[in-house]
Amino acid sequence: MNEEQKEKLKVVRENLLLPFTNLPLLSRRLKETWDREGLGGIFHRVKRRVVVRDLYEPPEPTAEEQERIEYRVDRFEYKPLISVVVPVHDVAEVWLREAVESVRRQIYPHWELCLADDASTFPHIPQVLREYAELDPRIRFVRLEANQHISGASNAALALASGEYVALLDHDDALPSDALYEVVALLNEHPEADMIYTDEAHLHPSGKLTNPHFKPDWAPDQFLSQMYTCHLGVYRRSLVEKIGGFRKGYEGSQDYDLVLRLLDHDPKIFHIPKVLYHWRMISTSVACNPFAKDYPEQAALKALQDYLDRNRMDAKVEKGRFYTSYRVRYTIKEPLPVAIVMPTRNQVKYLRTAIDSIRQKTDYPYYRLYVVDNGSDEPETLRYLDELDRNDWASVLPHPVPFNFSAINNYAVTRVKEPVILFLNNDVEVLHPHWLEAMVEHIQRPEVGVVGGKLYYPDGSIQHAGVILGIGGVAGHSHKGLPGSFLGYFGRAEIVQNVSAVTGACLMTRREVFEAVGGLDEENLAIAFNDVDFCLKVREKGWRIIYTPYAELIHHESKSRGYEDTEEKIRRFGREIAFCQGKWDGILERDPFYNPNLTLEREDFSIKEGVLA
């Protein structure tokens, strides 16, 4: 290996990321490359896609801010004891001391540090633990005679805890000094909280932070796709003890298994959108080397299947599209007929392509196509529609009224009988045979009200991977314009997840849901944002909105009606923006499945200006 290759290898090890992902989220193809060729092979394949995240100083409270925090802590009505639980095994002394010192630096004083030495072979570990226990009465430790691995050691540390809440800290990581303060500040507003998680960042060997993970609020379907809550995790101790603590046999994903078992008890879960955990990047850590530990994925699959089985969910879990991502496959219990509603006007080339792709690339057989003709007048289109209407799997519904996307689709729903409705644009093209089944498996779930798929532009870049509220004043498409091969921000383009809305170009719902919210708003939202408004009405009624990357289509956007490029269209577009902003005031500014630290200026999940300053 020459010096240039060594330098590239060093850079990959330390702080290079695939765009909009963190290093652990490598695709399975790259994992195979890693196994076969090592880091050099990884770099060769991703060098054109690699992004260096700027390092930044860990933000610590100034003296003035610390004084304000201490003043507020004194006036907290609720000052629970927080037990910081740390399993310890053969860690470098410098990192162990930094972990302990990060707890000792906490501004919130009502904590205890509970450490369990898991029969470490490094002689400095019991010496360091004993030293700190003698130095600070809030620190206690136990040494295990035989190695019990991380689950057993965590339980041993947990047995030392007396706090109302326990916070989990790894032996080589660190907490910023205001971490426990922020947790208790939330508890003073929500003492009912059973689980709290925060944002996190990687702690670079230089001592600076990189790759901050700004997470969504609680998103149950995303959690079944990836363990995104992890650091910092704080849990009500009585509930942790009720479920028996950590289970042996789930090492590497013991915290994932813990939360999955907590979910059986309907815990109240809260998210603090601040980086309150520093995950150290060292060679033995997943933060630096995604395959430093090769057993977490199998343990996670086992924990997820246990959860599904315990809750009598007719589903199986399998590996996802990247390392440590997962896909829950819900069994379609009985044939569920789907009405595919496709408005059209002329543009027979795109209409024919769309329908041919459906017919040729759809494994799920229980559907009927309804083409709503909104006044086509081109002879070739009229001939094609006449041919189409003669098939036993399709119907043409003439509706020659002034164009109103909402009204056209509302009309179609009154003419179809199927219990499931898929609104599909006439300029899409199906890519894979299982696309429709991938949507039906979710829409059959009673808690789900809308399902959307992943759409690409003809050049292969992403057109839609869910909708983010607030972008452009109302909403924008997640990951729009980014290369289709990208995993997305921490893998989010490639996992099933909860979102606030999906595009009407490919939107599946149930008839009961559609009718319960009054359908699409044809009076105020004739063209734009009717899909966002519909989804928000569905969410308001308590149903979930699901994005699945396993329903993939090409979208030749706006081919039939064009873009908002005339004065009249621009005025109408402005009215629809104003209507949405007025109706959903306060909702659009805080998408629970996004993060307030991420920008509303672009759709690429980039960090809001000033957040890392």
Higher-confidence position of 40 and 157: 157
pLDDT at residue 610, as a whole number: 87
The two beta strands, 394-398 and 111-117, are unpaired
Global pTM reads 0.89
CB 20 within 8 A of CB 599: no
Residue 565: predicted pLDDT: 60
Does pLDDT of 560 surpass 60? Answer: no
pLDDT score for 567: 79
Indicate the pLDDT class of residue 21, thresholds 50, 70 and 90.
very low
- Indicate whether 49 pLDDT > 60: no
The per-residue pLDDT of the chain, averaged, comes to 90
Q: What is the mean pLDDT of the segment spanning 324-329?
A: 96
Q: Where are the alpha helices (DSSP H) in 198-312?
A: 220-223, 237-242, 254-262, 296-310
pLDDT of residue 193: 98
* The predicted structure's pLDDT at residue 48: 35
pLDDT at 529 over 50: yes
Please give the distance of CA 394 from its chain centroid, rounded to a whole number: 37
pLDDT of residue 9: 45
pLDDT value, residue 450? 98
Does position 381 have pLDDT exceeding 80, yes or no? yes
CB 23 within 8 A of CB 140: no
Q: Could you read off the pLDDT of 489-527 as tens digits, one per residue?
A: 999 999 999 999 999 999 999 999 999 999 999 999 999
**Which are the contacts of 210, defined by CB distance < 8 A and separation ≥ 6?**
15, 53, 54, 55, 56, 201, 202, 204, 281
Dihedral sign from CA coordinates of 417, 421, 426, 431: negative
pLDDT at 570: 85
Residue 493 in tokens: 């383009």
The pLDDT of residue 295 is 82
pLDDT at 34 over 70: no
CA distance 556 to 429: 8
Q: pLDDT-based confidence at 566, cuts 50/70/90? A: confident
Mean of the pLDDT values across residues 56-66? 90
For residue 205, the model assigns a pLDDT of: 87
Are 110 and 193 within 8 A, CB to CB? no
**Least confident span in 308-312, 318-322, 563-567:** 563-567
SS3 373: strand
Q: How far apart are CA 559 and CA 543, in angstroms?
A: 32
Contacts of 507 (CB under 8 A, 6+ apart): 422, 423, 450, 451, 452, 531, 534, 535
CA distance 548 to 450: 11
pLDDT at 5 over 70: no
Contact 319, 28 (CB under 8 A): yes
**What's the pLDDT band for 600 if we cut at 50, 70, 90?**
very high
How far is Cα 7 from Cα 2, in angstroms, rounded to an integer?
Answer: 9
Distance CA(28)–CA(485), nearest Å, equals 12
- Domains, the chain, with CATH or none: 3-52 (no CATH), 70-310 (3.90.550.10), 338-558+566-583 (3.90.550.10)
Please name the residue ranges forming H helices in 243-366. 254-262, 296-310, 348-360
Residue 207 pairs in a beta bridge with: none
Give the tens place of pLDDT for each residue, 259-274.
Answer: 999 999 999 999 999 9
CA neighbours closer than 13 Å in the CB half-sphere of residue 331: 9
Q: What pLDDT digit, counting tens, does each position of 330-340 carry?
A: 999 899 999 99
Predicted local distance difference test score (pLDDT) of residue 562: 52
Check pLDDT > 60 for residue 30: no
Residue position matching structure tokens 């392509």: 353
Lowest mean pLDDT among 81-95, 186-200, 571-585: 571-585
Please give the backbone phi and psi of residue 427, each rounded to the nearest 5 degrees, phi first.
Answer: -120, 35
Query: What is the predicted pLDDT for the residue at 45?
Result: 42
Numbers of helices and strands, H then E, in the chain: 18, 24
- Mention every residue, 6+ apart, whose C-beta is less than 8 A from residue 220: 263, 498, 544
- State the pLDDT at residue 569: 76
Helices 28-46 and 3-15 sit at what angle, rounded to 10 degrees?
130
Amino acid letter for position 87:
P
Q: How long, in residues, is the chain?
A: 613
Q: What is the pLDDT of residue 17?
A: 36
Please report which confidence band the pLDDT of residue 22 belongs to, taking 50, 70 and 90 as the band edges.
Answer: very low
**Res 563: pLDDT:** 53
Q: Does residue 41 have a pLDDT over 60?
A: no
The pLDDT-based confidence of 284 (bands split at 50, 70, 90) is low
Other Cβ atoms within 10 Å of 8 Cβ, number:
19
Q: What is the pLDDT of residues 210-241, one digit of tens each?
A: 999 999 999 999 999 999 999 999 999 999 99
Rounded CA Rg of the chain: 26
Q: Which amino acid is at 167?
A: A
Q: What pLDDT is recorded for position 60?
A: 86
Q: Give CA–CA dist 254/151, Å, rounded.
A: 6
Report whether 255 contacts 189 (CB < 8 A). no
Sign of the torsion angle spanned by Cα atoms 540, 541, 547, 552: negative
Find the range with the poorest average confidence among 57-71, 131-145, 164-178, 276-290: 276-290
Read off φ and ψ for residue 170, nearest 5 degrees: -80, 155
Is the separation of the CB atoms in 465 and 493 below 8 Å? yes
Reduce the secondary structure of 436-495 to three states and give it as a string: HHHHHHHHCCCCEEEEEEEEECCCCEEEECCEEECHHHCEEECCCCCECCCCCHHHHHHC
pLDDT at 251 over 50: yes
CA distance 361 to 297: 32
Q: Are 583 and 258 in contact (CB under 8 A)?
A: no
Distances (CA, A) of 345 to 131, 225, 229, 386, 429: 78, 39, 46, 14, 17
